Amino acid sequence: MSALRRSLAAVVAGLVLSSAVTAPAHAATPSVIDVAPGIVSVEAPAPGHSSTWSMIVSNRADRAVPVGLVVEGADGLLTTGPAPLTVSVSSDSGDPVIDAAPAGTLIGSTVALEPLAAGETRVLHGEASLPREADDRYQGADGRLDFRFTALVDTPAPGASTLSRTGVELVSGAALVTALILAGTAFFIIGRRRRSQHG
């Protein structure tokens, strides 16, 4: 390879490397909702009794955000036995979100809620009941039930701007285009010189 070609190759490689370095890594989109607590793990009550909890979700975005209530857990006697834990969830105004249902039928589901308006905060209340029919086998029985909120769409965080990121990407893209143009021009000149020398 001639000295001119080696120099051109170094220039192109440097510009391409520069464009790769200046292009930012796309960070994960921050959540648009605040929740408290992050996860609710339902505590099993004694047979014939209930346990309750509350959970709060707030919309940090400047637009409405669809939200859902995710139900996770693990099957066991407590959730799928002959007298399983029964769970219900309601809104702060008393409207049902989840009608009383056996815990095992809820695991792995996501309940879509009414979208949260910009800046809105919503409270949900849950109740878990163990039927009186649950016998001694249910003391320390296996099974787990967790609840958490999730945003159902990938929405940019409030106040987040893509201008600075776009600007950097435009600069790096321009550098790459410039490198390709320079390389093409150089090889064109080299080709013409060779043809004139052999002509």
Q: pLDDT tens, 100-117? A: 999 999 999 999 999 999
Mean pLDDT of the chain: 75
Residue 146 pLDDT > 80:
yes
Percent above pLDDT 90 for the chain: 53
Q: Confidence band (pLDDT; 50, 70, 90) for 192?
A: low
Q: Which residues contact 56 (CB under 8 A, 6 or more apart)?
A: 35, 36, 121, 122, 123, 124
pLDDT for res 4:
47
pLDDT for res 169:
39
Q: Does domain 33-151 have CATH number 2.60.40?
A: yes
Q: Confidence band (pLDDT; 50, 70, 90) for 138?
A: confident
Give dist(CA 138, CA 119) in Å, integer.
43
Q: Which residues contact 37 (CB under 8 A, 6 or more apart)?
A: 55
Q: Confidence band (pLDDT; 50, 70, 90) for 14?
A: very low
Q: Give, rounded to a whole angstrom, the gap between the first and last alpha carbons of the chain.
A: 21
Residue with the two structure tokens 């001639």: 2
Give dist(CA 19, CA 105) in Å, integer.
52
Length of the chain: 199
